[in-house]
Amino acid sequence: LPAIGTATRLLAVFGDPIEHSLSPAMQNAAISALGLDYVYLAFRVTESELAQALAGVRSMGIPGVNVTIPLKQAACALVDELSDDASDAGAVNTIVNCDGRLVGHNTDGQGFVASMGDDLGLDPRGLRVCIVGSGGAARGVAVRLARQGAHSIAFAARSADRAWSLSSLVKGRCPSCATGIVSLCDREQLDRVLASSDLLINATPVGMYPRVEDSLGINLAYLPKHACVADLIYNPAETVLLREAASLGYRTMNGAGMLAHQGALALKLWTGADPDVGIMRSIVLQLGG
Ligand code: NAP
C-alpha cells in the first residue's frame, strides 16, 4: 500500500459477518496497481447499526462503501437514491457518496454478464437461460440478463412462491423476456427445460465450502451440446456441478469473475478509474478458491 496520509480516502465494506470477505484484499490490490491514494477496510456492521454507519459515511465524507450480507436489502431504504440496477435487484451492494447524497447501486448483475463475456464468450441476447434458485443473486442476474436481451428465463426452485414472484418481477420489468418456473422435484419437466436451455446457472449455495460435495442432483446430460454451465460460487473454484458439466464436455465458469467484475465496477463508480479485473480475479482465486 502507498503511504497513508491526510489526503488518503477511505473505502469500506460493511457486513455481518465480515471476517471472510475477500473485498479488502481484492480492492487494495486494484487500488495499489492504479496508484490511487485510497485504502479499503472491512467493518462489521449489523442490520440495526446500518443507518448509523451510513450517517458516518455522510458526515465523514467517505466516498463510498460496499454493503454485503445481510445488509443489501436494508440499504435500499436507507440511501437517498437508487440506480436502475439496484432497483431491479431490490438490493444495494455499492453506495456512492455524492456530496452527502448517498446513491445505491448494484453491480452484481453487470458483473455476472461481464464475466460471462470473458469466460464463456457469451452475449445475453437471445439466450435461453435456466437459473436454479430464486434468492437475491438470482434476482440481480436474471433482471440484468433480461434487460440485455435474453430470450427466456426459467427459474428452477424448491419453493414455488419465491420462484413465482421472481418470474413475474422479471416479466414485469422486461416483457420481451419469456419467464417460467419449474420445480426442482419435477424431474421430467426439469429435463425438458434443460433440453431447451443454452445456459444453466446455479444461484444457490449448494456445493459451496465447506459442504463441497453437496450436489443439486440435476441431470446435465439433457442440456444441448452447445450449452454452458455457470456457478455463482467461487469457493471451491470447481463445484461438483462444474466438475460434472466439464466431464460431459460443457463449457463452464465459476463465480470468481463475477466477484472481480462487481468489485471493479464499484471501484470505478467511486474513483472514475478502470481497475485491472485480472488482478482482482487472481486474488479471489488465490484466497477463496
Ligand atoms: P439467498 O438470497 O439466500 O438465495 C439462495 C437461493 O438458493 C434461494 O432461492 C434458496 O431457495 C436456494 N437454495 C438454498 N439451498 C437450496 C437447496 N438445498 N436446494 C435448492 N435450492 C436451494 O442467497 P444469494 O445471495 O442469492 O446467494 C446465492 C449464491 O450465490 C451463494 O452461493 C452466493 O455465495 C453466490 N453469490 C456469488 C456472488 C459472486 O459475486 N460470485 C455474488 C452473490 C452471490 P429458497 O428460495 O427455497 O429458500
Q: What is the 3-state secondary structure (H, E, C) of the chain?
A: CCCCCCCCEEEEEEECCCCCCCHHHHHHHHHHHHCCCEEEEEEECCHHHHHHHHHHHHHHCCCEEEECCCCCCHHHHHCCEECHHHHHHCCCCEEEEECCEEEEECCHHHHHHHHHHHHHCCCCCCCEEEEECCCHHHHHHHHHHHHCCCCEEEEEECCHHHHHHHHHHHHHHCCCCEEEEEECCCHHHHHHHHHCCCEEEECCCCCCCCCCCCCCCCCHHHCCCCCEEEECCCCCCCCHHHHHHHHCCCEEECCHHHHHHHHHHHHHHHHCCCCCHHHHHHHHHHHHC
Question: What is residue 179's predicted lDDT score, i.e. its pLDDT?
Answer: 98
Question: What is residue 7's predicted lDDT score, i.e. its pLDDT?
Answer: 95
* The residue to which cell 497513508 is assigned: 4
Question: What is residue 2's predicted lDDT score, i.e. its pLDDT?
Answer: 63
72 an active-site residue? yes
* CA nearest ligand 1 atom 3, residue: 135
What's the pLDDT tens digit per position in 173-213? Answer: 999 999 999 999 999 999 999 999 999 999 999 999 999 99
Q: Is residue 1 over pLDDT 60?
A: no
82: which strand partners? 104
Q: Is residue 289 over pLDDT 80?
A: no
Mean pLDDT in residue range 33-54: 98
Q: How far is the CA of 26 from the centre of ligand 1 (A)?
A: 22
| Angstrom distance (rounded) from CA 221 to CA 132 | 16
What's the pLDDT tens digit per position in 213-223? Answer: 999 999 999 99
* CA nearest ligand 1 atom 39, residue: 259
Mean pLDDT of the chain: 96
What's the pLDDT tens digit per position in 232-287? Answer: 999 899 999 999 999 999 999 999 999 999 999 999 999 999 999 999 999 999 99
65: which strand partners? 12, 95
Q: Ligand 1 — pocket residues by CB below 6 A? A: 108, 133-138, 157-159, 162, 184, 203-206, 208, 232-234, 255, 258-259, 262
Mean pLDDT in residue range 142-161: 96
Question: What is residue 118's predicted lDDT score, i.e. its pLDDT?
Answer: 95
Question: What is residue 265's predicted lDDT score, i.e. its pLDDT?
Answer: 98
Question: What is residue 136's predicted lDDT score, i.e. its pLDDT?
Answer: 87
Q: Are 227 and 241 in contact (CB under 8 A)?
A: no
Q: Are 94 and 140 in contact (CB under 8 A)?
A: no
Q: Are 131 and 154 in contact (CB under 8 A)?
A: yes
Question: What is residue 159's predicted lDDT score, i.e. its pLDDT?
Answer: 85
Q: Give the amino acid at 14.
A: F
Q: What is the dihedral of CA 150, 154, 157, 159, to 10 degrees?
A: 110
User: Of 72, 171, 225, 268, which is the active-site residue?
Assistant: 72
Quick count: other Cβ atoms within 10 Å of Cβ 234?
A: 23
Ligand 1 atom at minimal distance to the Cα of residue 204: 7
What pTM was estimated for this model as a whole?
Answer: 0.95
* CA nearest ligand 1 atom 44, residue: 137
What's the pLDDT tens digit per position in 233-247? Answer: 998 999 999 999 999
Q: How far is the CA of 78 from the centre of ligand 1 (A)?
A: 24
Q: How far is the CA of 33 from the centre of ligand 1 (A)?
A: 32
